[in-house]
A and B are shown apart, each in its own frame.
Chain A
Amino acid sequence: MRTFARVLIAIALLSPLPALAHHGWAGYAEEEFEISGVTTTAVSLAGPHATFKIKVGEQVWDVTLAPPPRTSGAGLNATTIPVGSKVTVHGHRHKDAKRFEVKTERVNHNGKVYNVYPDRT
């Protein structure tokens, strides 16, 4: 029993990681963010998160979507939005102002809304 207690204490001391915020949304600003641009890539359903890129003026933005199964489940697949399409993405911008990335909840293309995080407003 004493050994068990000591091992438990050791593991607890060696595990500061759970204290860190989960990467899901913690790296992104609280405020809602919306931006429109022209897609320069198709939607990539590669893990850990589906992505595509848009060009806004001269700036290329990374659009980070949900994990692949969830993104695909929301109706967004590699052929859904052709390259060069005008889209509006809604979500949260990366906290680092030097990074042009939107963690995206919704994508609007041609009046159709793809809601990859429907549980988030």
Chain B
Amino acid sequence: MIAGSKPVSLTPPANSTESLVKKKHLFDFKDWSLQEVHALFDTTDVMAQVLERTIKRVPALQGFTVGTLFFENSTRTRLSFERAARAQSADVLSFAAGASSLSKGESMKDTLRTIDQMQSDVYVVRHAASGVPYQLSKWTDAVIVNAGDGRRAHPTQALLDAYTFKKNFPNFDSFEGKRLAIMGDVMHSRVARSNIELWTLLGGEVSLCGPATLLPQEFEQFKNVSLSHNVYEAAEGAHAVMALRLQSERMTSGLLPSIAEYQERYQVTEQVMKHAHSDALVMHPGPMNRDVEISGELADSERSVIEKQVANGVPIRMAVLYTLLVGKR
């Protein structure tokens, strides 16, 4: 037998925490418990071991079909999910809006119902509008995994961010007292919303920073969330600093005066990180505008776990697919 080809056992013991996950879908973390998230992280550890082997594949989802329904284009998230599905021997049905009948005027409901005839067990959904995963769940019996809906949620991104943070510290005990600083365009960011939801669910705190036009005051009402318009203040004592992508259309739509002024006031730099906790990590959900929201130097620095985030996306998504399809039974 080739070393490392032996499948890792994925049958949870009877009293495993995995059985705690009661959810049918992953839309967001609105009704998720702390135990359920930790169960997902435990499964992620197992998946990460699979990916360290020479033959990076287990038969855990053999016979299952994973449909990726990407109504909005995204390469990296789709690739990550497809990798996660195939590493567990699932079949993958890949749907991308650009090349589909959507451009011929087909509704998303009809698209779903058509693909449903091909019998997917789970749909991984990306859409430009908030709430679409909820809407689709009414029209299919399959499991729905949200791969990003509008500005609303990107739960697997938040999971991989928190997982990356947790795994970075050998003796990590808890998110309690740990603060994540999110810098930039919070208003338009599903990554920010999911991270706020998950990080505070895990017991941590979140500080948000950005220009007033991109940082809605309403976020101040969220539990364990603070707001600031000063990057140094927001970074002060933070255990992780995440820069959000700034889209150039924010300038043309009157939300910001100029890139130069944004860089000057909000770019995450080495200087900013001096205010953070000495072990603080630098994160970015990608795709990154180097030297706009984050300095290139910092993105490449030792503090940066940006590439690790992408790598952890695969075991996280493996764990999500596995847990929702078989692990909870």
Do chains A and B stick together as partners? no
Q: Interface of A with B (CB < 8 Å)?
A: none
Q: Interface of B with A (CB < 8 Å)?
A: none
